[in-house]
Amino acid sequence: MDNLPKIIAFACNWCSYAGADLAGVSRIQYPPSTRVIRVMCSGRVSPMFILEALRAGADGVLVTGCHPGDCHYISGNEKAVHNIELARSLLALLGIEPERLRLEWISAAEGARFAQVVKEFTEQIRQLGANELQAAGDRQP
């Protein structure tokens, strides 16, 4: 992983992706570790996507969505909580550190918070070291 981990970040279109944009508009600097995938809702992030990211070699997966009560689709973020819990239990079965997966609520107004979350999570993953699945060379196309 060199010194900079690679993180797949899912951001919901309505809140968190907008928050990430605001960090940019505000020129708040954060580590270039994330590769953002825009989804319409955090509730779209299937546990399969998370497993696929870790299998493909990501060192961490960040899922971001609207704060509770703010979901554009009424309850998608509640579904995300459930999906992330499910993914976490799968990670435990596979012997992957659960700290490699993180769920955060970031509103469209929270540019600084998006940057802060990326900073903290990058540092956390750095401490954990490279993803074992990747280190074991278990890469598949």
Partner 1 sequence: MRQAKDRAEETDESPRIGVFICHCGHNIAGYLDVPALVESARALPGVVWAGDHLFTCSDAGLAEIRAAIARHRLNRVVVASCTPRTHEPLFQAACEEAGLNRYLFELVNIRDQCSWVHMNDRELATAKARDLIRMGVARAALLEPLSEAELPVQPEAAIIGGGMAGMTAALSLARRGFAVTLIEREPELGGILRHLDRLYPTMVDARELVARRVAEVREQANIEVLTSATVQAVKGYIGNYELTVRSRQFGPEMELPVRAGVIIVATGAQEFKPFGLFGYGDDPRVLTQQELERLLAESNLPSPISNLVMIQCVGARDETHPYCGRICCLTAMKNAMRLKERDPHTEVYLLYRDIEVHGTHFEDYYAQARDLGVIFTRYTPDAPPQVADGRVLVYDELLGMRLSIPYDLLVLSTPPVPAAGARELARLLKVPVDEYGFFLEAHVKLRPLDFATDGIYLCGSAHWPAHLDEAISQALGAAARATTILSREQVRSSGAVARVEESLCRGCERCAQACEFGAIEFVELERAGVLYRPGPSLGQKIARVNPVLCKGCGACAVVCPTGALQASHFTSRQVTTMIQAAMGH
> What beta strand segments (E) does the chain contain?
7-12, 34-39, 60-65, 101-105
Asked if 139 and 57 touch (Cβ cutoff 8 Å), the reply is yes
Q: Which of 23, 62, 84, 91 binds partner 1 (CB under 8 A)?
A: 23
The SS3 of residue 17 is: helix
Residues in contact with partner 1, shown as a per-residue x/- string from 94 to 123 under the rule CB under 8 A: --------------xx-----x--------
Distance CA 19, CA 28 (A): 11
Dihedrals phi, psi of 68, to nearest 5 degrees: -50, 135
Nearer to partner 1, 39 or 95 (CB): 39
Residue span binding partner 1 (CB under 8 A) among the ranges 44-52, 95-103, 120-128 = 44-52
Binding stretches for partner 1 (CB under 8 A): 4, 6, 8, 13-14, 17-18, 20-21, 23-25, 27-32, 35-41, 43-46, 48-49, 52-53, 56-58, 69-76, 79, 83, 108-109, 115, 139, 141
